[in-house]
Amino acid sequence: MVKLQGEGLYLAALERRDCRKLSEDAEHDFANPAEPLRVGHSVEKSDEWFDEIQKRLREKTAVELGIFLDDGTVIGDVALQDIDFANRSCSVGMGIAKIENRGKGYGGRALRLIVEYGFFEMGMERISADTLDANVSARKSLERLGFALEGCERKAAYFGGKKRDRLRFGLLAEEYAG
C-alpha cells in the first residue's frame, strides 16, 4: 500500500468511507471558482466513485490517493491518471473538499508528493495538468512545481455563466527540480 509522507499531511489509499466523507464535505467556492458546481452529492455517487478508483487501479490507468492531515482527517484527493506506460506519461488532478482547507498549502504539498511519486517511483517522463483559467490557485501551484504553460483551449468550458479557457500545463522529469 502506498503512503507518501509530507509536511503536515500524507497521501494514502482512499477507503469507501473517505470517498463518502469527501462527497459530504465538498464545497463550491463561489468567490473563487475552481471547477464547475456539482450538486446532488450522494452516498451512492461516492460509492460509485470508490468503485471507479478501484477499477482504474486494477487496470493500472490511475493512482488516486486521499490527502490526509497528520491526524488522519481526509481533506481531499490527488491522482495520477490517464497513465500511459508505453509513453511514460500521465496527467495529474487534485481537489480539496472544504473551503476552509484551501489556500493553506495542502494542495501544493500533495501535488509535489504525487509528482515525485510519478517521476521517481513510476518512471513517468512527462506529467500534464489541465485547469480552467479562473483557477488561479491551481495555476500557481503548478507553476511553483515547474510546470510550463503549453497551450490554451479558448472558450472550452461553460462555467460561472461564461465561456472559460482551459489551460494545459506540462512538466518533464528532466525539468523537475524537486
Phi, psi at 43, each rounded to 5°: -60, -40
Residue ranges in 15-119 assigned as alpha helix (H): 16-25, 43-58, 106-116
Question: What contacts 174, CB < 8 A, 6 or more positions away?
Answer: 125
| pLDDT (tens digit per residue) in 107-148 | 999 999 999 999 999 999 999 999 989 888 899 999 999 999
Q: Please, where are the H alpha helices in the chain?
A: 16-25, 43-58, 106-116, 136-145
Q: Which amino acid is at 25?
A: D
- Kindly state the percentage of the chain with pLDDT values over 70: 93
Q: Is the pLDDT of residue 39 over 60?
A: no
Q: Cα separation of 52 and 47, whole Å? A: 9
Distance CA 138, CA 132 (A): 9
Residue 68: predicted pLDDT: 98
**Mean pLDDT over the full length of the chain:** 91
Residue 31 confidence (pLDDT) above 70: no
The CA-based angle 145-150-81, given to 5 degrees, is 65
The CB density around residue 88, as the number of other CB atoms within 10 Å, is 16
Structure confidence by residue, pLDDT tens digits, 69-111: 999 999 999 999 999 999 999 999 999 999 999 989 999 999 9
Q: Could you give the CA distance from residue 42 to residue 83 in angstroms, rounded to a whole number?
A: 28
pLDDT confidence of 162, banded at 50, 70, 90?
confident
Q: Kindly state the cell numbers that stand for 108.
A: 501544493
- Domains for the chain: give ranges and CATH numbers: 3-175 (3.40.630.30)
